[in-house]
């Protein structure tokens, strides 16, 4: 069991399928194709900072931020309520929260089409009540809804894990010492759960900021996110250079997010996931 | 009163999580194609689903891809976990760092970077194109890290003296590995393989960028159909997938509780 040899095939595999692809992305990001060959350039990045593309990046970050805030506001109470339950009921409720995640991500997103579209359920209810139809699809609201629906469990689970471990006698002690409900929550429960909140925020924000399927299906052409831009550059426009530059920017956003939250997590002492 | 509010809130959140899935299921039995009204009960969409050769082919591709990529990733991943476990601190950290890249990188970046690699390689060789092989290679690549992350902790827990003891008692290195070490780490290998299998079945983004003309898995088919709007055949398919998932979850849970009893 002292031999390192069994790892060698995978090291070769990693070099080919993990390292070289990343190098290629950087290579294309910093070059352009000119008559005959590739030349070094920063044009792709300069282009990414043109107002139209900055707008797309800003929208991606803004929507991911809204999605994260909504997930936190909706998810925290769920985690809190579930953590207070007895083990048996707690496991059942957690199981119920996890089950939809076993459904394919695309299908979960597609399900909202049925509900929101022009002839969808909400609009037929409105129509039968004699009310005018609403345009529920193909706007930012629909995209945020799709994100919250898909990522809410990622917020609930880490917060719940922390709250479950919290010593309830601390809450009782605070009550005995005269703290009211709001004070107990703000000064005892919430501070204790911060590591879970940080994990939850990371786990929701990261997939939300890179999303492109949700925006494609529920946002249509109206809501373009950075992921859609990358897809378009590679599959429709065939500009690998610009697409790669956008990919590099997306990687940087992720690295910054992980950096910020791992520092925050260290300050709070101990990771959750 | 507070209890009631809490229960109501939980119920509303669960309704939010399940309502879309149930709507999908109910409408898979609806005669009328327009969503709004209920035209009567039918199994027609299911019949059409099974007659759709494109979908059946995609289903087959999905299963073959999942089985092949999970098995290959399990072999490569387990072997490399054993090798990594024997490494010194620094090389181990470097390898695990690279191993984490596909886990942390956004799927879309992994997808386009592999697509660039494949097309770049095909251009260099002068022939070949994206297709089944490239999706398979991509799936193996994103599966291996999860197998390693599942097997490595178990290897660390093993008592190092066990292997040496087997050798001292006269076992060949191969026998010591297969009779002593392997049985100990088998649960971790199996859970790594199941994880790899599920990830492969569930993947859309990376398959989408590494596939070529004519080769689809289920999620690619669903995506191309969903982009054209609502289609009752997808509802029927979702209902079946949901049913299969529920049955599998039930079986796994039952196996676990049986194990606890013994």
pLDDT digit string (tens) for B24-59? 888 888 887 765 667 788 888 899 899 989 999 999
Mean pLDDT for the stretch of residues A142-147: 95
Task: Specify the DSSP class assigned to residue B43.
Answer: S
**Length of chain B (residues):** 262
Please tell me the total count of domains within chain A.
2
Q: What is the total residue count of chain A?
A: 273
Q: What is the mean pLDDT of residues A145-172?
A: 90
Q: Do A60 and A35 lie in a common domain?
A: no
Give the residue among A157, A1, A9 at the shortest CA–CA distance from A75: A157
What pLDDT was estimated at residue B130?
92
In terms of domains, do B186 and B255 share one?
no
Residue for token pair 């049985």: B183
Structural domain including A80 reads 54-268
Give pLDDT tens digits for A184-238: 888 888 888 998 999 999 999 999 999 989 999 999 888 999 999 999 999 999 9
Considering only CA atoms, which of A62, A237, A242, A254 is closest in space to residue A140? A62
pLDDT-derived band at A272, boundaries 50, 70, 90:
very low
Q: Is B106 helix (H, G, I), strand (E, B) or coil?
A: coil
A10/B209 CB distance under 8 A: no
Does residue A273 form part of some domain?
no
**Spatial separation of the C-alpha atoms in residues B9 and A211, rounded to whole Å:** 28
Q: How far is CA B12 from the centre of its chain?
A: 30
The pLDDT score that the predictor gives to residue B212 is 85
Residue B24 lies inside a defined structural domain of this protein: no
Classified as helix, coil or strand, B242 is helix
Closest approach of chain A CAs to the CA of B82, in angstroms? Answer: 7
Residue B260 has pLDDT above 70, yes or no: no
What is the chain B residue with the closest CA to A127?
A: B36
In angstroms, the CA B119 to CA B57 distance is 25
The answer to whether A250 and A190 are in contact (CB under 8 A) is: no
The answer on B235 and B209 residing in a single domain is no
Give the integer Cα–Cα distance in Å for A137 and A117: 6
Do B79 and B198 sit in the same domain of this protein?
yes
- The closest of B42, B193, B36, B211 to B134, measured between CA atoms, is B211
Would B21 be classed as within a structural domain? no
Angle made by CA atoms A246, A248, A252, in degrees to the nearest 5: 115
pLDDT digits (tens, 9 = 90+) for B110-156: 999 999 999 999 999 988 889 999 999 999 999 999 999 999 999 98
Name the average pLDDT for chain A: 89
- Chain A residues within an 8 Å CB radius of B83: 3-8, 10
The two tokens of residue A225 are 């996110």
For residue A211, give the CATH number of its domain: 1.10.3720.10
Nearest CB among A105, A114, A123 relative to B204 is that of A105
| Strand A31-34 relative to strand A37-40, pairing | antiparallel
- Nearest CB among A1, A78, A110 relative to B86 is that of A1
Say how far apart CA B30 and CA B44 lie, in whole Å: 9
**Average pLDDT of chain B to the nearest whole number:** 89
The model's confidence at residue B262, banded by pLDDT at 50, 70 and 90, is: low
Q: Write down the pLDDT at residue A130.
A: 84
Same domain, A31 and A102: no
Q: What is the per-residue DSSP string for B48-76?
A: HHHH-HHHHHHHHHHHHHHHHHHHHHHHH
Q: Hey, of A96, A98, A111, which one would you mutate to test binding to chain B, going by the most B CBs within 10 A of its CB?
A: A111
Q: Per the domain annotation, does B5 fall within a domain?
A: no
Q: What is the mean pLDDT of residues A22-45?
A: 91
CATH of the domain at B89: 1.10.3720.10
Verify that B188 and B242 share a domain, yes or no.
no
CA distances to A209, A232, B130, B211 from A236, rounded to whole Å, are 22, 5, 16, 15
Residues A36 and A123 in one domain: no
Rounded distance, CA A53 to CA A31, Å? 19
Whether residues A36 and A66 fall in one domain? no
| Rg from Cα positions in chain B | 23
For residues A217 and A240, membership in a common domain is answered with yes
Q: Is residue B214 part of a domain?
A: yes
Tell me the chain B residues in contact with residue A117 when contact means C-beta distances shorter than 8 Å: 35, 229-230
Predicted pLDDT at A117: 83
The Cβ of residue B73 has, within 10 Å, a number of other Cβ atoms equal to 29
C-alpha dihedral, A148 to A150 to A156 to A157, nearest 10° = -160
Does residue A121 have a pLDDT over 70?
A: yes
**Interchain contact, A106 vs B144, CB within 8 Å:** no
What 3-state class would DSSP assign to B216?
coil
Residues 6+ apart with CB under 8 A from A22: B101, B113
Q: Are residues A264 and A152 in the same domain?
A: yes
Per-residue pLDDT band at A269 (split at 50, 70, 90) = low
Q: Are residues B254 and B177 in the same domain?
A: no
Please tell me the distance from the alpha carbon of residue A31 to that of residue B158, in angstroms, as a whole number. 49
pLDDT band at B164 (very low <50, low <70, confident <90, very high): confident
Burial class (CB in 10 A: 0-12, 13-18, 19+), B172: exposed
> Are A110 and B6 within 8 A, CB to CB?
no
**Percent of chain A residues topping a pLDDT of 90:** 54
Residues spanned by the domain of B252: 230-262
CB-based contact A105 B246, cutoff 8 Å:
no
Instruction: Please state, in angstroms and rounded to a whole number, the distance separating the CA atoms of residues B71 and B146.
Output: 13
The 10s digit of each residue's pLDDT in B44-101 is 889 989 998 999 999 999 999 999 999 999 999 999 999 999 999 999 999 999 999 9
Percent over 70 (pLDDT), chain A:
97
Give the one of B14, B76, B222 whose C-beta lies nearest to A110's C-beta. B222
Within this chain, do residues B238 and B138 fall inside the same structural domain, yes or no? no
pLDDT, tens only, B228-257: 877 888 889 889 988 888 888 788 777 777
Share of chain B above pLDDT 70, in %: 97
The reply to whether A208 and A108 lie within a common domain is: yes
Q: Using 50, 70 and 90 to split pLDDT, how confident is the model at A111?
A: confident
Can you give the pLDDT at residue A273? 44
Residues of B in contact with A1 (CB under 8 A): 82, 85-86, 160, 163, 177, 181
Residue A48 lies in a domain: no
Q: Which one of B13, B106, B246 has the shortest CB-CB distance to A74?
A: B13
């Amino acid at each position: 069991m002292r031999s390192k040899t069994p790892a060698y095939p995978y090291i070769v595999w990693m070099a080919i399928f993990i390292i070289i692809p990343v190098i290629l992305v950087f290579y294309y990001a910093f070059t352009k194709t000119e008559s005959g060959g590739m030349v070094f350039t920063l044009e792709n990045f300069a282009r990414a900072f043109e107002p139209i593309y900055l707008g797309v990046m800003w929208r991606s970050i803004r929507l991911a931020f809204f999605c994260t805030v909504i997930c936190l506001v909706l998810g925290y109470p769920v985690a809190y309520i579930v953590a207070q339950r007895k083990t048996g009921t707690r496991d059942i409720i957690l199981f119920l929260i996890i089950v939809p995640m076993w459904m394919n991500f695309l299908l979960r997103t597609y399900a909202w089409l049925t509900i929101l579209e022009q002839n969808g359920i909400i609009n037929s209810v409105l129509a039968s009540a004699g009310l005018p139809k609403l345009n529920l699809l193909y706007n930012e609201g629909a995209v945020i809804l799709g994100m919250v629906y898909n990522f809410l469990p990622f917020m609930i689970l880490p917060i719940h894990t922390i709250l479950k471990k919290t010593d309830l006698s601390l809450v009782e002690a605070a009550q005995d010492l005269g703290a009211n409900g709001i004070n107990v929550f703000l000064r005892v429960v919430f501070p204790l759960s911060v590591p879970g909140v940080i994990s939850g925020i990371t786990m929701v924000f990261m997939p939300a900021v890179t999303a492109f399927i949700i925006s494609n299906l529920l946002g249509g052409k109206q809501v373009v996110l950075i992921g859609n831009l990358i897809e378009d550059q590679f599959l429709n426009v065939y500009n690998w250079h610009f697409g790669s530059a956008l990919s590099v920017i997306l990687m940087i956003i992720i690295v910054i997010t992980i950096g910020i939250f791992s520092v925050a997590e260290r300050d709070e002492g101990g990771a959750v996931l | 009163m507070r209890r009631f509010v809490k229960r109501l809130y939980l119920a509303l959140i669960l309704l939010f999580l399940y309502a879309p899935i149930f709507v999908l299921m109910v409408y898979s039995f609806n005669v009328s194609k327009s969503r709004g009204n209920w035209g009567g009960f039918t199994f027609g969409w299911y019949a059409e689903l099974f007659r759709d050769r494109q979908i059946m082919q995609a289903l087959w591709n999905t299963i073959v891809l999942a089985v092949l990529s999970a098995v290959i990733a399990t072999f490569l991943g387990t072997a490399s976990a054993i090798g990594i476990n024997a490494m010194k601190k620094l090389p181990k950290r470097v390898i695990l760092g690279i191993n984490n890249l596909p886990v942390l990188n956004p799927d879309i970046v992994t997808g386009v970077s592999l697509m660039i690699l494949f097309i770049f390689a095909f251009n260099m060789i002068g022939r070949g194109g994206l297709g089944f092989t490239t999706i398979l290679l991509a799936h193996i690549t994103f599966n291996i890290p999860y197998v390693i992350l599942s097997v490595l902790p178990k290897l660390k827990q093993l008592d190092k003296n066990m292997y040496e003891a087997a050798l001292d008692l006269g076992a060949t290195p191969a026998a010591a590995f297969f009779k002593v070490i392997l049985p100990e780490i088998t649960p971790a290998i199996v859970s790594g393989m199941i994880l790899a299998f599920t990830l492969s079945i569930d993947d859309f983004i990376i398959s989408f960028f590494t596939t070529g003309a004519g080769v689809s898995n289920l999620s690619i088919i669903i995506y191309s159909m969903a982009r054209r709007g609502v289609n009752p055949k997808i509802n029927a398919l979702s209902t079946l997938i949901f049913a299969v998932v529920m049955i599998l979850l039930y079986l796994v849970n039952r196996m676990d509780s049986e194990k606890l009893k013994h």
